[in-house]
Structure 1
Amino acid sequence: MGRFGVLSLALAAAFMPSISAAEDVVVVYDGSGSMWGQIGGVSKVGIARQVMGDLIATWPEGANVGLIAYGRRRGSDCSDIETLIAPSPLDRPAFISAVNEVTPRGRTPLTEAVRQAAELLSYRDTQATVILISDGLETCQADPCAPSAELAQQGVNFTAHVVGFDLTEEEHAGLACIAESTGGVFVPAQYADELRDALAHVQTVVDLQPLSSPEPVTEAEPEPEPQIDADIDLEAPATVLTRSSFTVSWSSTIDGQDYVTIVPDGADEGTYTNYRRVRQDTDNSLIAPAESGLYEVRYVLNEGSRTLASAPVEVVEAEIAISAPEAVTTGASFSVSWSASVHPQDYVTIVPVGADEGTYTNYRRVRDDTENSLVAPAEPGLYEVRYVLNEGSRTLASTPVEVVEAETSISAPETVITGASFSVSWSASVHPQDYVTIVPAGADDGTYTGYRRVRDDTESSLVAPADPGLYEVRYVLNEGSRTLASTSIEVLEAEVILNGPDFARAQTPLRISWSVAIHPQDYITIVPAGADEGNYQDYIRVRDNLEGDLNAPAEPGLYEIRYVLQEGARTVASLMLEVVGADAPLDDGAGLVVPSQASPGETINVSWSGSADSADQRISLARADQADFSWIEAHRIGEQTTLELTMPDEPGPYEVRYLDIGGQTVLGRAIVEVE
């Protein structure tokens, strides 16, 4: 991290604008995950809460202040921007409470947050001021510089002041442009005390006092400040490239809060562009302006903003060559190279030929590299690849590129069953992040259901929707979500035959079978009769099986056994099931009569009234947990309708069963509790 202090209030008076007390103010507060970083063993969010609390305590009641926070609710959502307090007379406890409730967790959509703050302030109709407090750069693929300039241009008197907390040297320019383009101030802070001074500094610029008629005050004549004279030798290169970083050195330091800066040759005292506090160092780096010309590097006293030493510097136009293919296909990745990097935050981008300065689509920071890759736009046409200075968003070099229509074909079956997996193939992959998907016929571009990235493959699989109808399988460019190829497919209703018992005792095992497994992730479940689609209790995945076991529900009642598609959680087959009590007799026309209780070793009378067509019918005695066609003893029956059974000596639940052995059917069953 660079070590940068906060401009003193004396220095502020020399170059900061005065803002009327009549304007409303919105504080845009950083709730991104990086605020959990620590400085001196204390989290940045903890420091910010304390400092904001101390500062708000000094703000007067009646000042119209609002609060917006970003990144406080969701992890990776660039739309996570929330108005916590609309501009209104300051309620200190409520404001401090709102700040303290911001729990960092998300990204940094600061560009959109500033825009929403401006809209909240009706910036097109009234004076509006935004104070942005952030510990990092935009992370939602937006460049805050150009939008901030547009807000300033469109607004009556829109100003954004920026407090950059714990930033690197490279990150300063990315936030400073917000303030510079709106006439505001950019104040970097590295430590807790500096953050407190930075916010106090901004408060002096934004007059938060409510409108009133102040009592006249007679001010004493200020004591003349002693003039400091010292011999400082300041050295800088004779020439530097536009927007490049260069080294400045000085022979000695008067005060650590003095600073070095680069300004146009002959600029008024107190003028500055980017600057560095001298601290206890004797050298540091500055960023050259984006415009060529004659400049001077100055050593400026913090006290009085007086230049103590200067050195001339000529800023010359950087000469950069950039190259890219003459033609690329829509949505494809292609290589870009450049002869040299002026500044790491410069970037390369591809835009329509003749696009306005500052226009960009996808881009790559140049860093210290000389090559990278871009993705071609989704629409064919004439474009140019540009090397753009981060400072001022000025194009330094460009080369033409023709984007031609990519050619690919896609194939899939003519028909598929609802919820079934099916194969898709395509002739070539344009970009690994492109995808194939199935959507209703005629759906808008960008619509998708289940999808698969194409990677470097030429085939994959999709799952058919749960509802029958006409659909399209599409190859979609990731860039612009444009459909490149499609083929029609009809989704047919799945036909599944489900088999299982009509009656069951509570919590007893049930064997269930189905005629076909449509998709391995489909499932069988038992739910109350008439339950909403998607409801489930215990379930089994069908996998590649055609039967499986589930336990009956614990509560008696009417239920449904359902075959449910994983895709869309839609039921394609169901079977009614009546669940009775755990001890209730079950009878399928046998008319089985059995005592409900018996003593150990007691002989009981069993009778029945019905019979089956099978020649092999038996009355069996089994433990209640034995399989249906396992038993302790079994008796073949003929014309008789009664039988005596001797109960086991061991207490517990037993079951008397009327079995049709030929049909492998249980025609009746009844529990006998031996106790």
Structure 2
Amino acid sequence: MAETSFAQDASAGARTIIVMDGSGSMWGQINGVPKLEIARETVAEVLKGLPQEREIGLVAYGHRTRGDCSDIEIMVPPAAGTADAISQAVNTMRFQGRTPLSDAVRRAAEELRFTENPATVVLVTDGIETCNADPCALGKELEQSGVEFTAHVVGFGLTRQEGLELSCLARNTGGSYFDASDREGLGKALDQAIKTAAPAATPAAPAPEPVQPEATLDAADSAAITSAVKVTWTATRSERDYIDVAPLGAPAFEWASWVELGDSDKVMLRMPPEPGDYVIRYIAPDAAEPVVASRPIKVVEGDFVLDGPLTVQVGESFRVNWRGPEGEENYIDIMEKGSTATENEPSYAWARDGNPAELMAPITAGEYQLRYVVQGESARAVGLSVPLNVILGRAEIEAAEEVAPGAEFPVRARGPQNSRHWVDIVTPGFSEFSGEIGYFYLGEPGAPFTEGSLTAPAEPGSYDLRYVIEGMKGDRRVIARRTITVSPGASADVSLAPVE
């Protein structure tokens, strides 16, 4: 490729298609506003600032049919002056299907004739691929067969791991991954992605060679399976860097487990559950060579094993696979970090009740330890302790904005699921955990949500819906709330958007 490139004419240059997520998950809310509404408004605002001669189009997926991986539509073919048409098309999307994002990007590339002309696709998605396709492999394929083909990805409300899984689509085509968690972030990310895709008006200067960061890692030479290993690191870090452990010889973005860097120069990294030769790595996703530093570690069998998550949400139920000596009184528990006490734990499960053990996280965020406790003849001893981080996480209540007095209406609760937790309706400012106007308990641990129903009060006005979690000791707290209006003019028949 030549060091200096000249822009194509706007009518024949780097034409662009926005690929918009129309899946049912876009009904999820951010700060009480459905993501689809935020996306509609943001797309309209960003497109207003585009030059009329800019050639841009729209492809949507998952917006016409539920459960159909072939639901991909070219809503607006790429052409000049299509900003208003794209905004209107996004407003007609119904957001109800699945997430065939890989095939949608491929369809957009073909519409742009990417094998003949420079082409750019900007993918906006709030979820990962759900139709058995590999976006990473697609990125490599399109890059190899295209003429200056680039894909940028805007992740809207994705978790860090989901973002890492999708960023390879952009990275493998020379594009960028943009993370957006709210309305402002989506606007900035979409604006930057589209501007990055714009053809230049003047000869482009040679791109500077990326500076390869440097890092060091220090950790033990060996560790027991599933144990937590302290890793000390130094680096000029960027926001998306992380440390992982992977089988020897694994590609850069394949790992057994990984951990964010945090605010200090030390992290605790969970070892894999299978013995063998592994490597601890410092990964910089945006660097030319993502594996910036590495060191080998041998993972060996252990007498005690606790294989569970390093991080859980408050009130979340989770499973722990364990190994330890037999004993009717042995148990797995959760205790505050640094505590050596073997009583009054926030949560525990008897080993005799089966493997894996079922536990529930404390309802207060903080640093804890997951322990295997052995009961002796006259005392208890901690056979193994591994760190457990309990975070606030995300919880949402979905319901209609307005309901009629006395009407029964559906409610969907997303967050930690357990039969000890509930959603209730109360008057504004109500702080007690009894005497509610109405409530329903949540469901199966591990489920993504529970749907239930409440009955609106007969008196019009504003009321609060609360997401209440209860700990194993009966302690309670509210982790999410939203306002609902009881109005005589509201429909008596309301429903929730379908779930993807």
**TM-score calculated relative to the size of structure 1:** 0.34
Q: TM-score, normalised by structure 2?
A: 0.45
Between 1 and 2, higher relative CO (CA 8 Å, sep ≥ 6) is seen in 2
Larger radius of gyration: 1
